[in-house]
């Protein structure tokens, strides 16, 4: 029998994939679900418990009760307003340690991972469960970046790196040497949608998506999927550069097929 | 008789205000107008010449022919695609000097100002012509930032400063310690519109707008006006912090009245 895995499940398609992959490996899966975040259909057939986001103590109790050994955090969670967080005592302690400055997502997730490890759980990255999920280095598509796109990628890496230092966003859109858009709280889909209107005539436009330097690898990795490719194509991009070894590619075969169909490149690049 | 002033007129309400203020001071005004950018109604009654954006040599010839002494650049201009620029020889030389990296607006405007000064023109800032246009230091409104808003302003200044180093944007929206949005090519109006949807429940939200460190003061200053205040109010912001001494406030009395009506603060702050 495999180890007992607890999945802290956020939104989107990733939790289902991780759960499927874990069960296929023979792991026993318990799901910690968050009201307003986790899809109720996901947990119906599985051992699970619902816990409000701010109830850190209750969440840890639930993990102990389920005798979880490994823990994976997967799927994005909306950052609620402090005022609407149902904080328990442990939640308050955690937020107090967070302090005011640097209240970006990285630090919060890092503290949460530390808290879970203090409790004796082993926090594992989703990429250790989903095969082929991590972006490889180098070109994955038939199309390749031309010299202009290569320069845009270089600039995008520089900008994303500096933003990442501030725990802001993971994505930047660059076209012909001009930064069209920078991601903060809105997410990559919205970034691409507005850059469609901002892009200039002529070729190019590159989406660059990198892990932030301080980003807790096990709790949160930048992610692209087939939908990202479709939206990038709609926005007139020439291609997508992802952080090799530090970015999840969901349904990689479909991502590459969609990119090849649209004539986009997808390439794995090093960070700064 | 006053000096002969050439106005390089971009979009929006600012060129008309600068021209009105200059004529009220007895300056002779000549307008250099750009197809697709300058409002044709603006120049109809004034000595003017239309020149495509990339025709730098023709623009300089026109300024000499008009015997301009002072030159003011006012109103934003859309950055056209390189491929659609009707570059003359001088335009090509200027772009070649710009090089590939650092192709943000700052460096371009800086080179343009240098080029104009080499030709013997004196480039003056719009703020030297419009009275009371430059943001003062300190609070301008009845409402004042509370401690949470003050922390958001501090974080916004840090973020805007780092972005400015990269010649990206001038504006940042921060709420409860989280950077909701960062401006790149889309402009402040769009930034505010999307942050309306991104903001969390509860109080606060601050628009911070600063001059970029390298920004050519005489050619391009961050600007707010009554419309900015209305959009900030619609987006649920608590207030606006502008760069004291380095930000234009258009129709300041109306800005303050609109902010007081909506209960927003407007404050002039120092940069990093």
Contacts of B83 in chain A (CB under 8 A): 201-202
Report the chain A residue with the minimal C-alpha distance to residue B100: A177
Q: Which of B159, B168, B194 faces A159 most closely, judged by CB atoms?
A: B168
**pLDDT at site A100:** 47
What sign does the dihedral B147-B151-B152-B154 (CA atoms) show? positive
Q: Which of A151, A179, A184 sits opposite B179 (nearest CB)?
A: A184
CB contact under 8 A, B103 and A176: yes
- The two structure tokens encoding residue A200: 């200039």
| Residue A180: alpha-carbon gap to chain centroid | 22
Please tell me the distance from the alpha carbon of residue B99 to that of residue A82, in angstroms, as a whole number.
Answer: 47
Whole-prediction pTM: 0.77
Q: How confident is the model at residue A214 (pLDDT cuts 50, 70, 90)?
A: confident
**Interval B181-230: pLDDT, tens:** 999 888 899 999 999 988 877 778 999 999 988 777 777 788 899 999 99
The interface residues of chain A toward chain B in range 151-170, judged by CB-CB distance below 8 A, are 151, 155, 158-159, 162-163, 165-166, 168-169
Q: Which two tokens stand for residue A32?
A: 């910690």
Decide if B81 contacts B54 (C-beta within 8 A).
Answer: no
Pairing of strands B265-269, B138-139: antiparallel
Residues B103, A178: C-beta atoms closer than 8 Å: yes
Nearest to A184 among B83, B177, B181 (CB): B181
Residue B104 contacts A where some CB pair is shorter than 8 Å: yes
Tell me which DSSP letter residue A124 carries.
-
Query: Any residues with CB less than 8 A from the CB of B206 and at least 6 apart, and which?
Result: B145, B149, B152, B153, B156, B173, B174, B175, B237, B238, B239, B240, B241
Residue pLDDT, tens place only, A235-255: 999 999 999 999 999 889 999
Q: How far apart are CA A20 and CA B158, in angstroms?
A: 43
Contact B83 A162 (CB under 8 A): no
The sign of the dihedral angle between the CA atoms of A240, A246, A248, A254 is positive
The per-residue pLDDT for range A148-207, each reduced to its tens digit, is 999 999 999 999 888 888 878 789 999 988 899 999 888 899 999 999 988 877 778 999
Q: Do A103 and B178 touch (CB under 8 A)?
A: yes
Contact at CB, B84 and A186, closer than 8 angstroms: no
B184/A186 touch (CB, cutoff 8 Å), yes or no: no
DSSP string, B107-162: HHHHHHHHHHHHTTPEE--GGGTSTT-BPPSEE-SSS---HHHHHHHHHHHHHHHH
Rounded to the nearest 5°, which phi and psi values hold at B167? 60, 35
A80 contact B CB<8A: yes
Closest chain B residue to the Cα of A162, Cα to Cα:
B162
Q: Does position A105 have pLDDT exceeding 70, yes or no?
A: no
Other CB atoms within 10 A of residue A12 CB:
17
Q: What percentage of chain B carries pLDDT values higher than 70?
A: 93
- Cα angle value B6/B9/B11 (rounded, 5°): 170
Touching check for B79 and chain A: CB below 8 Å?
yes
User: Could you tell me if A204 lies within 8 Å of chain B, comparing CB atoms?
Assistant: no
List, in order, residues 6 or more apart from B45 with CB less than 8 Å away. Answer: none
**Looking at chain B, which residue has its C-alpha nearest residue A186?**
B198
**DSSP character string of B178-233:** EEEEE-SSS-HHHHHHHHHHHPPSSS--EEEE---TT--TTT---EE-HHHHHHHH
Strands annotated E in A117-264:
122-123, 138-139, 171-175, 178-182, 206-209, 223-224, 239-243, 248-249
State how far the Cα of B49 lies from the Cα of B51, in Å rounded to an integer: 6
Condensed to tens digits (0 to 9), the pLDDT of residues B216-271 reads 777 778 889 999 999 999 999 999 999 999 999 988 999 999 999 999 999 999 98
Residue of A nearest to B108 (CA): A178
Of B81, B177, B190, which is closest to A201 when you measure between CB atoms? Answer: B81
Amino acid A40: pLDDT = 95
Residues B209 and B241: beta-carbon distance below 8 Å: yes
**CB contact, 8 Å: B143 with chain A?**
no
């Amino acid at each position: 029998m495999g180890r007992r895995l607890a999945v802290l499940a956020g939104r989107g398609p990733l939790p289902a994939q991780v759960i499927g992959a874990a069960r296929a490996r023979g792991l026993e899966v318990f799901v910690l679900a968050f009201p307003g975040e986790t899809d109720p259909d996901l947990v119906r057939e599985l051992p699970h418990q619902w816990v409000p986001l701010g109830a850190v103590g209750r969440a840890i109790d639930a993990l102990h009760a389920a005798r979880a050994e490994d823990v994976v955090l997967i799927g994005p969670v909306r950052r609620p307003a402090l005022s609407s967080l149902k904080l328990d005592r442990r939640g308050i302690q955690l937020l107090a340690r967070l302090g005011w400055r640097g209240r970006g997502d990285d630090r919060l997730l890092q503290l949460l991972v530390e808290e879970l490890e203090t409790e004796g759980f082993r926090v594992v990255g989703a990429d250790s469960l989903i095969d082929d999920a991590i972006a490889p280095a180098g070109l994955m598509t038939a199309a390749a970046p031309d010299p202009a796109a290569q320069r845009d990628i270089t600039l995008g890496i520089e900008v994303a790196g500096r933003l990442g230092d501030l725990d802001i966003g993971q994505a930047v859109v660059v076209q012909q040497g001009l930064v069209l858009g920078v991601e903060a709280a809105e997410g990559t889909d919205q970034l691409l949608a507005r850059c469609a209107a901002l892009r200039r005539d002529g070729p190019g436009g590159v989406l660059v998506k990198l892990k932030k330097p301080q980003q807790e690898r096990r709790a949160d990795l930048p992610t692209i999927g087939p939908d990202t490719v479709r939206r990038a194509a709609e926005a007139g991009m020439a291609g997508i550069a992802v952080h090799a070894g530090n970015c999840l590619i969901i349904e990689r075969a479909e991502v590459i097929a969609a990119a090849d169909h649209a004539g986009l490149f997808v390439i794995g690049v090093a960070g700064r």
